[in-house]
Amino acid sequence: MTDTKNHTSDPTSCSLQGRVFSPQSLSELADAIELAFDYRGDVSIALKSGEVISGYLFNREVNAECSWVEMFPSSHPEVRRVQYDEVASIAFTGEDTASGKSWDTWVTKKESERKMDAARVASEAHARGHL
DSSP string, 41-78: S-EEEEETTS-EEEEEEEEEE--SS--EEEEEETT-SS
CATH number at residue 40: 2.30.30.720
Distance between alpha carbon 100 and the CA centroid of its chain, in Å?
13
Looking at the structure, do residues 21 and 85 belong to the same domain, yes or no?
yes
Looking at the structure, do residues 80 and 23 belong to the same domain, yes or no?
yes
pLDDT above 60 (res 4): no
pLDDT 10s digits, 40-83: 889 999 999 999 999 999 999 988 678 999 999 998 899 999 99
Higher pLDDT, 81 or 15: 81
The structural domain count of the chain equals 2
Residue 113 structural domain = 100-131
Looking at the structure, do residues 79 and 104 belong to the same domain, yes or no?
no
